[in-house]
Amino acid sequence: MTQHEALRVLIYSDDRDVRQAVIAALGVRPHPDLPPFEYVEVATEPVVWQHLDSSRGRPDLVILDGEAVPAGGLGIARQMKDEIFQAPPVLVLTGRPQDAWLATWSRAEAAVSHPIEPMRLAEVVIDLARGVLTPG
C-alpha cells in the first residue's frame, strides 16, 4: 500500500444511522499517520460477501454491526474468519459492553459497544488500521 492509497473500510449495518455514525466518528482521515479512508456502506449480508469476494480487491478493514437484522455482524465475522484465507481485520459493534465475549466467539479483532462513542471507536479503528499497514 502506498502512502497516498486510501484504506478501504467496509461498514455493515441494516441501520443507515449506525453506518453514518461510524463514518461521522472516524471522518475521512482519523489520524494524520494513516492514509485517508474510503468507506463502503453495506446494508445486507449478501452484499458483504460480494465485497469480500470482489475481484476489485477486498476491504482492508471491516466493521460489522452485531445488532443488524436479519444477519448479525457477529455471525458474519465468525463465518468470514472460518472461510476466507487471510480475512481482513474485523471490528464488531456489540449491543452492550457485556457482550464483548461474543466478539471473542466471532473471532473479531476488536469490539466497541453501542451507543457509539466516537473517541473510543476512532482509537480502536486507528489501532486496527495501523496493523493493516504494518502486518506482523
**Confidence (pLDDT) at 1:** 43
- Say if residues 10 and 48 touch (Cβ distance below 8 Å): yes
- Tens digits of residue pLDDT in 68-100: 999 999 999 999 999 999 999 999 999 998 888
Cα–Cα distance, 41 to 61 (Å, whole number):
12
Percentage of the chain exceeding pLDDT 70:
93
In sequence order, the β-bridge partners of residue 63 are 11, 91
Beta-strand (E) ranges in the chain? 7-12, 37-42, 61-65, 90-94, 110-113
Amino acid at 76: I
Kindly tell me if the per-residue pLDDT of 3 is higher than 70.
no
* Rounded mean pLDDT, 112-123: 96
- Say if residues 112 and 93 touch (Cβ distance below 8 Å): yes
Cα–Cα distance, 93 to 6 (Å, whole number):
23
Which sequence spans correspond to the domains of the chain?
17-116
Q: Which CATH architecture has domain 17-116?
A: 3-Layer(aba) Sandwich (3.40)
**Confidence (pLDDT) at 45:** 97
Kindly tell me if the per-residue pLDDT of 56 is higher than 80.
no
Cell output for 93 = 459493534
Percentage of the chain exceeding pLDDT 90:
82
